[in-house]
Structure 1
Amino acid sequence: MKIRRILATAVAVAVTAPAVLLSVTPAFADAPPTAQTQAKPTLEELEKAAAVAQEAYDKALAAKTAAYEVLKEALSDTAPLTLAAKAAKTAADEAGTSKTAADQAVTDAKAALDALPETATEEERTAAETAVTRAEATAAAAAADKTAADAKAKEAGNAADDARVAAARAYSLVQKALTDALHAKTAADDALAKAREEENENQDCVAEPGLTTILTGVPDSITAGTTTALSLRVSNRTDKAMDDVLAHAFTHATDTSGLKETDKLLHLQWSTASSPKWHSIGGDHLIDGIGPLKAGAHADIKLRLTIDASAPAGNGAAFVSADYTNENGSCGGNPDIAMYDFGVLKAAKPKPGKTDSGTTGTTGTGTTGTSGGSNPSAQGTASSNPVATGDGTLASTGSSDTSQLGLLGAAAVALGAAAMFVVRRRKAGSQV
């Protein structure tokens, strides 16, 4: 498989040279396996590769932080080499001032010698010549001192500049190393995530008829504009615990012709003892308030079905199913969708001078309330038979086969990935 080649390459380079993980791209998936490609890596190997990449990233991040501090210090005015360069420059400037003064003294001494009159004595001329000689010696020493000071200043300045450049280069290198380490870490993490995903995909879910769903309280008919209390019991009738159980519920209705769907006018909500607040069941048809179920245990879920007052008369049905997943990756569920049908009665018109109480006049055994967000607690018993879809047959429910087939077909489409867990969890191309 293409993903296997990607993961094999990923783990190999993650251990040897994490930065090379950048080559593990989607484009590589279309390339044929090379001679260097290793055998399929295990999850343990991929986890090790991800850990190595994480460690490399952590070290690169620490190196960047340290390099930044060095760079900041090298660029500061108080850096030792910067202070030394400043001191050397000051000494060179002072030596230059001394040399200038010494040179001026030579000029002055020579001028004094040249200014002696012809009447000057031999002693006066000797003294002037001695002053010139001494000034020239002082100037020569000052020039030597200035040369030495300039050399030291240049050397100190170069040292400070070199430190700044070295710090800047080091910081640039660790920045790139951090970027490479991050890319390597991301590639290793992605490879591990894909392997785990594939591991989960490779674990086939199994049909588990022992995970049952029974809906009670469904009356023969429900009047539009009312709310009906229902009860769903999910039971683990097996000898094994299930770590996470999910129930699925869906309602579907049409007008009397069976051609116009009125699903949007039906609203289903759920509540459990652990999550007593009413939750609307969305487009995923999911009830996630169950959690784990021990062998032989069951969970009860309160449901309430509200039908808008504008709903036309017609036929309706409620569908329920359940599946489970375990922490070890195993999964399963009941492949059958239980169907409970009911009639939809048009909302009764209020009598003149009286307001509509919102109560139903149905003859079913379920108890109904108002459509104004009430919290009904009474639970009736199902007045219709569950319809199993596992073998493609439809049990008799008292309604026409045509409308029942239409309701059942709509449920299969609507529940789809939610209830038909085998289709959802198995690999493409596998057989149920």
Structure 2
Amino acid sequence: MKIRRALATAVAAAVTAPAVLLSVTPAFADTKPAAQTQDQQSKPTIKDLEKAAAAAQKAYEEAVKARDEAQVTVRKAFEELSKDSHPLVAAANAAKQAAKDAGAAKDAADQAVTDAKKAIADLPSDATEEQKTAAATALAEAEAIATTAATAKTAADTKAAETNDALQDARVAAARAASAADKALEDALAAKVAADAALAKAKKEAEEEGEDCEVENDLTAEVTGLPTKLVAGTTTPFSIRVTNGSDQHMDEVIAYVGVHATDKRGLKDTGKFFRLQWSSESSPKWKNVKDDYIDAVGALKPGARTDLKMRLTLDKATPAGNGVAFIAADFYNEDGSCGGTPGADMYEFDVKAAGSKPGKTEDAKPKPSKTTKPGGNGHTPQGSASATPATNGSLAATGSSSATTSIALAGGAAVVLGAAAVFVVRRKKAGSDA
């Protein structure tokens, strides 16, 4: 008998969200994804998913066009703002020169006051009243001119600052326009990847027959030791702990581990440079992860848990960019019942070029955050394998999925749509006698 995973309600988000999320206009759009709600029993058809994928593709193409137009416009804006003939530049230069001239005039006026005061001090003791009056008059006139010069300099300095601020504001506005177009493209790519993945995996699932499985929130898979920064040409060990926090026995538990990556622009799938392997206490020899599944978790009694050692190697030629690991778990029983976590936790990380220094880093955290903790129903976890995550070893063979499109990490879009798409992917095709 063949058994298959049910399409989770999260898939509905991948169907409906792209059209809302990807309302990208050609002129520097800076849209935010709108909240989407869906009946928990909703199940999109292949036709629905095809429409969603087509809409996501169109929105992505529009976002690419908008980004390219923005780059041209911004480049021209900066070129114009560097020319002396530009009104803002001309005004700033003129105000700067006026401030300089006003400063020189004030300095000259101040010197005249100093000279007038010295002239009074140098009058001979037998100076006539006419000489004294003339000297006093000269000082008063010099002081009046100095006061006027000081006022003029203050005004000129203020004008120079204002015109310079206007010029800088224009440059900042141009840079923000480019940034908005880049963000819109990231969001569009994330939604496109999710829609494509949902369609591809739904088609594959439609080919298989069997029973629908139920959501089991108390079956958890948690990652330990996967850093937020990886360097090309290195091997990174981490571990996955699978816990049966429910009150039912699970005859066969399967872990899902999908690792995907793109270059910095999010346009090139770099998954071919990634290699993933696993081992466990019961199966210590390192093995390649096949089709993103690890089938050797085995049975888990209520409250039991097991740890899987993982190691991820990045080829030296891996381009710098972004990566993401999707983690989830399913179970299957001999009586035909099955189930698993309702979505997939997503762990984001940056990919650094070979030879780079990762700098300060920390363990990646799951998105969305877990709401059910291992043993959450009152059971005390009991290790059915090694209770301590292992963190050593080196990788030798590829394990990244060739069936999954590249993914760009775009904040909330990747969290919502990425998790939805991967839940469609997760399935276990048992043998005909399973």
Band of TM-score, shorter chain: 0.3 to 0.5
Structure showing greater radius of gyration is 1
Decide which structure has greater helix share: 1
Higher relative contact order (CA 8 A, sep 6+): 2
TM-score, length basis structure 2: 0.38
